[in-house]
């Protein structure tokens, strides 16, 4: 049984003890909650459907309880995951981007020393419109000029897509998307907005001379009514598009693909987000998906190692997660993930940004 204790910042010796046996740490931290005999995962709404599918397979195959998985967004997931070690903290963080150096450092400071990074596959950031929408075809630069707060350092005055590009429809700029705590939000800024900004040679040069100014200029989004956050709820975005057919929504590819009867993909740089285009890298919005495992909880939380093994099985080439839209990682990355998940090899944080 998993003895529970409240998360607490522990010293190096305390963290080491926790890594060996969580129950031994009960005297070092105040008790709280109740004993936990199920897996707890938090994080990305994009990874959520894959994680729940794995949870169902895992429970059926092993007889363990179905894992409790919360869709909090990647940033919110790391915040909870890094709060400490013990029954009141999650075992796994699901993420639609890699953990940041500052998040890793927070984990370390709070006694979460050994974190296992497993890339489960690839997804894409996709723009979608209602099936009866105008049929947008956009470039990264179009998206940047439409949604950046200060494109190329000047206040954004564009109100319609035609203001951005004469070839685009004369309809109001209106994009529904995830909140700033979402990994999808971060990936959208990096993979679409940032690249659109860097299409301008001056902005590319600014990156070398003043990285902070470059980031602010290239990735700060406008607010409502141009970009409207919809929380961690892709279903709500679909509802908004149905009522506003000239608007666009931002999704993970897997979600868009699962709802192609309601929304259609918008090509970026002339390439539509498809399984093949994301897998071979020709679609510009490709991104990796991860799970992060708290090694100190392995062997203490019932079935945690087996759940990870089930995830790797489902994510493999020909696995059942492929049918749900998860794109298989290149072989070298998949092999590395399998090795890390099998041996529970901790991540070296020195390579993080």
Nearest to 147 by CA among 91, 188, 92, 101: 188
Provide mean pLDDT across the span 73-91. 96
Q: Which two tokens stand for residue 266?
A: 């918008």
- Please report which helix (H) or strand (E) contains residue 113, including its range: none
Q: Which two tokens stand for residue 195?
A: 């690249």
Provide mean pLDDT across the span 144-148. 98
Q: Which two tokens stand for residue 275?
A: 């399984």
Q: Which two tokens stand for residue 90?
A: 């999650």
With a CB cutoff of 8 Å and minimum separation 6, the contacts of 4 are 31, 32, 33, 34, 35, 36, 86, 87, 88
Tell me the C-alpha distance between 340 and 166, whole Å.
50
For residue 11, name the pLDDT band (cuts at 50, 70, 90). Answer: very low
* Cα distance between the two ends of the chain: 37
Strands 92-95, 68-71: pairing is: unpaired
Of 11-15, 107-111, 186-190, 256-260, least confident by mean pLDDT is 11-15
What value, to the nearest 5°, has the Cα angle with vertex 82 and ends 81 and 87?
55
The string of DSSP letters for 208-242 reads HH-HHHHHHHHHPBP-TTTEEE--S-HHHHHHHHH
Residue 60 has pLDDT above 60, yes or no: yes
- Please report which helix (H) or strand (E) contains residue 126, including its range: strand 115-130
Nearest to 143 by CA among 158, 154, 130: 158
Residue 88 has pLDDT above 50, yes or no: yes
| Structure confidence by residue, pLDDT tens digits, 328-338 | 999 999 999 99
State residue 15's pLDDT score.
Answer: 43
CA dihedral 45, 49, 50, 51 (to 10 degrees): 80
Q: How many CB atoms lie within 10 A of CB 352?
A: 15
| Structure confidence by residue, pLDDT tens digits, 259-307 | 999 999 999 999 999 999 998 889 999 999 999 999 999 999 999 999 9
Q: Which two tokens stand for residue 206?
A: 């600014």
With a CB cutoff of 8 Å and minimum separation 6, the contacts of 289 are 44, 46, 47, 50, 95, 96, 119, 120, 121, 122, 123, 326
Contact indicator for 345, 116 with CB cutoff of 8 Å: yes
Nearest to 157 by CA among 168, 146, 170: 146
Of 21-25, 109-113, 279-283, least confident by mean pLDDT is 21-25
Q: Which two tokens stand for residue 261?
A: 């009867």
Tell me the C-alpha distance between 62 and 128, whole Å.
39
State residue 6's pLDDT score.
Answer: 35
State residue 26's pLDDT score.
Answer: 37
Provide mean pLDDT across the span 200-220. 93
State residue 263's pLDDT score.
Answer: 95
Task: Report which of residues 99 and 280 the model is more confident about.
Answer: 99
Contact indicator for 283, 332 with CB cutoff of 8 Å: no
Three-state DSSP at 20 gives helix
pTM (2 decimals)? 0.78
State residue 30's pLDDT score.
Answer: 31
Domains of the chain in sequence order = 12-121+289-351 (3.40.190.10), 124-286 (3.40.190.10)
Residue 258 has pLDDT above 50, yes or no: yes
In Å, what is the CA distance from 62 to each residue of 55, 66, 92, 227? 10, 10, 19, 45
Contact indicator for 315, 325 with CB cutoff of 8 Å: no
| Structure confidence by residue, pLDDT tens digits, 166-185 | 999 999 999 999 998 888 89
Tell me the C-alpha distance between 190 and 196, whole Å.
10
State residue 35's pLDDT score.
Answer: 59
């Amino acid at each position: 049984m998993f003895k529970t204790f409240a998360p607490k910042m522990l010293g190096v010796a305390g963290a080491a003890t926790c890594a060996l046996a969580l129950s031994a740490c009960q005297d070092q931290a105040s008790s709280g909650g109740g004993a936990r005999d199920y897996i707890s995962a938090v994080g990305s709404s994009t990874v959520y459907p894959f994680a729940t599918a794995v949870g169902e397979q895992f429970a059926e195959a092993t007889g363990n309880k179905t894992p409790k998985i919360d869709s909090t967004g990647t940033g919110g997931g790391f915040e909870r995951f890094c709060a400490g070690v013990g029954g009141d903290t999650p075992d796994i963080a699901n993420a639609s981007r890699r953990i940041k150096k500052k998040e890793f450092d927070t984990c370390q400071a709070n006694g979460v020393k050994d974190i296992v990074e497993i890339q489960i596959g690839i997804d894409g950031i996709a723009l979608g419109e209602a099936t009866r929408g105008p049929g947008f075809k956009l470039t990264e630069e179009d998206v940047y000029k439409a949604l950046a707060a200060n494109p190329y350092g000047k206040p954004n005055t564009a109100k319609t897509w035609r203001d951005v590009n004469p070839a685009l429809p004369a309809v109001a700029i209106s994009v529904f998307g995830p909140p700033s705590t979402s990994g999808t939000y971060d990936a959208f800024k990096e993979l679409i907005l940032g690249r659109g900004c860097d299409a301008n040679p001056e902005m590319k040069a600014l990156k070398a001379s003043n990285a902070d100014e470059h980031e602010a200029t290239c990735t700060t989004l406008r607010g409502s009514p141009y970009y409207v956050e919809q929380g961690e709820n892709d279903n709500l975005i679909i509802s908004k598009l149905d009522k506003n057919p000239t608007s666009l929504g931002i999704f993970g590819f897997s979600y868009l693909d699962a709802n192609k009867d309601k929304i259609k993909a918008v090509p970026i740089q002339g390439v539509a987000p498809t399984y093949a285009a994301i897998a071979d890298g020709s679609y510009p919005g490709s991104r990796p998906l991860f799970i992060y495992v708290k090694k100190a909880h392995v062997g203490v939380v019932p079935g945690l190692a087996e759940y990870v093994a089930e995830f790797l099985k489902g994510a493999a080439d020909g696995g059942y997660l492929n049918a749900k839209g998860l794109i298989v990682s290149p072989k070298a990355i998949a092999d590395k993930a399998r090795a890390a998940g099998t041996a529970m090899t901790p991540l070296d944080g020195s390579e993080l940004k």
